[in-house]
Copies of this chain bind each other. A is one copy, B any other.
């Protein structure tokens, strides 16, 4: 059965980006530090076209994130290109000519745009809301899962709507103090612990969302 799921790196105090996010600093102040655990990994480097790197307990977790995923949903902020109407020259995402997704990506936006076809990945721009994006993503994914790429706002909307089946948090030993908090105002969402993995500099916590409590 096809699932809606996400994985995200979160500071110990619950932030997935630092304060003062901007076009120049998309992860906010201190936000880049969140991801220090992943950059040395061979699994990460390989998916970004680089060789070498470490293999440790995070490897299998990171590989699982992209296994059996047939479509991705993301917010306009994560796709980038600034807020408001699309400008010229066209912004084609952060990922270059060959984005690592290699499946259809549905970008939630208020501003219509023709699909953007890059090497092995096509971005579709969805203007009629999260349920529509999910329906289109499920149709594109077939039997495979749909992954929510982020950001925090989009993930929170899907969680609040009770549409998420499963998620995994990479909890890092960092106290950011401010920024975008992932799990805000989600009281009443019932979750079950699926598994916990200890890895260097990160704790991987996986949960299943239960039927509404």
CB-based contact B197/A198 at 8 Å: yes
- Determine the chain B residues whose CB is within 8 A of the CB of A189 once the complex forms: 175
Task: Assess the B197–A186 pair: CB atoms within 8 A.
Answer: no
Measured in the bound complex, the distance between the Cα atoms of B184 and A14 in whole Å is 9
Chain-B contact segment, one of A134-142, A147-155, A202-210: A202-210
Task: Tell me the complex Cα distance, A171–B10, Å.
Answer: 14
- Residue of B at shortest CB range from A177? B187
Cβ of A185 < 8 Å from any Cβ of B? yes
Which residues of A come within 8 Å of B, CB atoms? 12-14, 30, 169, 171-178, 183-193, 195-199, 201-203, 205, 207
- Closest Cβ of chain B to A20, distance in Å, is 12
Complex: A177 Cα to B193 Cα, angstroms: 18
Contact A186 B175, beta carbon cutoff 8 Å: yes
The residues of B that contact A184 with a CB separation of less than 8 Å are: 13
Known: A177-B186, A193-B201, A195-B198. 9 other contacts (CB 8 A): A12-B191, A174-B191, A177-B185, A177-B187, A177-B188, A178-B187, A196-B196, A196-B197, A197-B198
Among candidates B173, B176, B178, B205, residue contacting A203 with C-beta atoms closer than 8 Å: B205
Most buried by B among A187, A201, A202, A205: A187
State the oligomeric state as a number of copies.
2
Quick check: A202 and B198 within 8 Å, CB to CB? no
**Docked CA distance A190–B12 (Å):** 11
A188 nearest in chain B by CB position: B177
Who on chain B is nearest to A15 by CB? B187
- Residues in B with CB closer than 8 Å to A178 are 187
What B residues does A188 contact at CB under 8 A?
A: 175, 177
What distance in Å separates the Cβ of A161 from its nearest Cβ neighbour in chain B?
14
**For residue A186, which residues in chain B have a CB less than 8 angstroms away from its CB?**
13, 175, 177
Please name 10 pairs of A and B residues whose Cβ atoms are closer than 8 Å in the assembled complex, sorted by A: A12-B205, A13-B186, A173-B191, A173-B193, A174-B191, A175-B183, A177-B188, A196-B197, A197-B198, A203-B205
